[in-house]
Amino acid sequence: TLLAPSLRPLPRRSTALGAAPAAPGALSVAFKSLTKTPDALFQTIFVGLGLTWVLFKLADRDGSSESASEPPPPGVRSLQARFLIVFWLMRMSDWLQGPYFYEVYASKIIGGNPVSLDMVSKLFLIGFGTTGLLGPSVGRLVDSKGRKAGTLMFAALYTIGALSVRSNLLWLLVLGRLAGGIGTSLLFSAPESWLVGEHSRKGFDGKWLGQTFGWAYAGDSFVAIAAGQLAALAAVSRGPAGPFEVSVGFLAAGALIALLKWKENVAPSDTKEGPTISEAVKVMVSDRKIMLVGAVQALFEGAMYIFVLQWPPSLIAVVNGSVPFGKVFSCFMASCLLGSTLFSALAKRGAQVEAMTALMLVSAAASMGVATVGGSSLAAVLAAFFVFEACVGMYFPSIGTIRSKHLPDSHRSVIVNLFGVPLNLIVVSVFLSIKKLGVSGALACSTVALSLAAVSSILLYFTVNREDGGDGGKAVEAAA
């Protein structure tokens, strides 16, 4: 187990988080020093998760398939390098803002009153509402006008959002959330669509795309871990807005490299206007697999975004002392790294991506259920959150590979953003009811969404095996 029973919350009069049962010797003293404060506890957990990953990699080093060592055709490594560096820089900017999203808005004084959890939820929803309303149109523009242009526009909009948090003016905070909402739809569609478009244009085998996604999200976990540590340092020196300010530098670097190194590509279309939303809807409803992929994405990511705003108050309720959000976030990202590494290990052995996704979603639903019913136990909450984050680490390379298999390049960005409409409805519905639901109620909604995502992924698995003869593993073989 991650935590000893003695680390369960103590009565509020205690200033320490907990200690090991009294025992003679240096081991007991060392354990006490490593867990006596929240900061020390999460730093210890982070080191433990890192060591677990190292041991996992050592155990897996002989697990590569023959195809994993096959040299790639000319041009693959160049494409991977150009995509990955931009992808990681853009993701760094996003991850830097994550740990302090709650705190940066909660620290504001508007109209003489501190911002409440309800107001933070509404600001969060403004971004989501913008993504839901404008996402499909943004996706259409990305496909028709250019994926590179969409990536550059993401950097510009996220910069506006990051700088807005220095203000105590409500209208500027709202403007920043509007810009961030549009930027989010670009981040999760434009770079991936650019990569798939370039990959298709050059005629590379699909297994190299799977490898790129494996590397992208394994590296993304390292990026997120570094972001958590950097965010903590920035917050100490500049306050909760510090991480947002630092993110602007990474946005500028990523945009510059994309501007210089990426060639523009657009979706293939028979018209000058490019793919339309109505055409994308017709493509979606005509293919059961696309609809199931959309259900998995909307339900899982809806549950994930509910979790994003609920884990800080969840930990505040069970941790005796100030929660070191940056270090907690690094622990979450270390768990993500374990998940993405597990994806790569299974992919190297030819595991079918639809099967991996189904098993992962069942685990995610179970872990969130534990967090919901065990909310008063620090050990139960942390264990459940870490398992869920490991599932998140598996989810992104899995869904990226699945989308590359089942979504047509002609409407890719539009369809991905259409998936965001039900996602946003889920999140908006929960947060509009957050006063009635509370933290435990919101986590229960997340559990239900994950359970439905698991059912959808199981149906996708059977549909793919019935139609394609169970060749799903080929698309991800040799990943990372």
- What pLDDT, in 10s, does the model give residues 245-263? 999 999 999 999 999 999 9
Band of residue 274 on the pLDDT scale cut at 50, 70, 90 = low
- Chain mean pLDDT for the chain: 83
> For residue 2, what pLDDT is reported?
38
Spell out the SS3 assignment of the chain: CCCCHHHCCCCCCCCCCCCCCCCCCHHHHHHHHHHCCHHHHHHHHHHHHHHHHHHHHHHHCCCCCHHHHCCCCCCHHHHHHHHHHHHHHHHHHHHHHCCCHHHHHHCCEECCEECCHHHHHHHHHHHHHHHHHHHHHHHHHHHHHCHHHHHHHHHHHHHHHHHHCCCCCHHHHHHHHHHHHHHHHHHCCHHHHHHHHHHHHHCCCHHHHHHHHHHHHHHHHHHHHHHHHHHHHHHHHHCCCHHHHHHHHHHHHHHHHHHHHCCCCCCCCCCCCCCCHHHHHHHHHCCHHHHHHHHHHHHHHHHHHHHHHHHHHHHHHHCCCCCCHHHHHHHHHHHHHHHHHHHHHHHHCCCCHHHHHHHHHHHHHHHHHHHHHCCCCHHHHHHHHHHHHHHHHHHHHHHHHHHHHHCCHHHHHHHHHHHHHHHHHHHHHHHHCHHHHHHHHHHHHHHHHHHHHHHHHHHHHHHHHHHHCCCHHHHCCCCC
> For residue 32, what pLDDT is reported?
61
379: nearest Cα among 18, 13, 21, 15: 18
Residue type, 409: D
182: nearest Cα among 417, 415, 426, 400: 417
Structure tokens at 59: 């155990």
Give the span between the Cα atoms of 112 and 154, in whole angstroms: 34
Band of residue 289 on the pLDDT scale cut at 50, 70, 90 = very high
> Interhelix angle for 434-468 vs 353-373, to 10°?
160
Contacts of 33 (CB under 8 A, 6+ apart): 40
For residues 172-179, give the mean pLDDT: 94
Q: Which residue has the tokens 């290990």?
A: 345
Give the span between the Cα atoms of 146 and 152, in whole angstroms: 10
> For residue 461, what pLDDT is reported?
94
Q: Is the alpha carbon torsion for 330, 365, 368, 311 positive or negative?
A: positive
Phi-psi region of 477 (alpha: psi -120 to 50; beta: other; left: phi over 0): beta
**Is residue 226 within 8 Å of residue 92, measured between CB atoms?**
yes
Give the span between the Cα atoms of 265 and 77, in whole angstroms: 19
**Is residue 441 within 8 Å of residue 371, measured between CB atoms?**
no
Structure tokens at 403: 């989308």
- What pLDDT, in 10s, does the model give residues 420-448? 788 878 888 887 888 888 888 999 999 99
Structure tokens at 128: 């989501």
Which residues, listed in sequence order, are joined to residue 110 by a DSSP beta bridge? 113
Residue 47 in this model has a pLDDT that exceeds 60: yes
Look up the pTM and report it. 0.73
* Range 112-149 burial, b when 16+ CB lie within 10 A, else e: eeebebebbbbbbbbbbbbbbbbbbebbbbbbbebbbb
**Is residue 360 within 8 Å of residue 295, measured between CB atoms?**
no
Strands 113-114 vs 109-110: parallel, antiparallel or unpaired:
antiparallel
- What pLDDT, in 10s, does the model give residues 87-129? 999 999 998 988 788 789 988 888 788 888 778 878 888 887 8
**Is residue 220 within 8 Å of residue 340, measured between CB atoms?**
yes
Band of residue 473 on the pLDDT scale cut at 50, 70, 90 = very low
Give the span between the Cα atoms of 308 and 127, in whole angstroms: 14
Structure tokens at 17: 């988080």
> For residue 466, what pLDDT is reported?
87
CA 292 vs CA 8, 287, 297, 358, 459: distances in Å = 41, 9, 9, 12, 7
208: nearest Cα among 196, 217, 218, 219: 196
> For residue 469, what pLDDT is reported?
56
> For residue 10, what pLDDT is reported?
38
Domains within the chain, CATH numbers bracketed: 37-475 (1.20.1250.20)
12 φ/ψ angles, rounded to the nearest 5 degrees = -60, -20
Give the span between the Cα atoms of 309 and 442, in whole angstroms: 10
- What pLDDT, in 10s, does the model give residues 10-40? 344 444 444 445 555 565 555 566 666 788 8
Residue type, 380: A
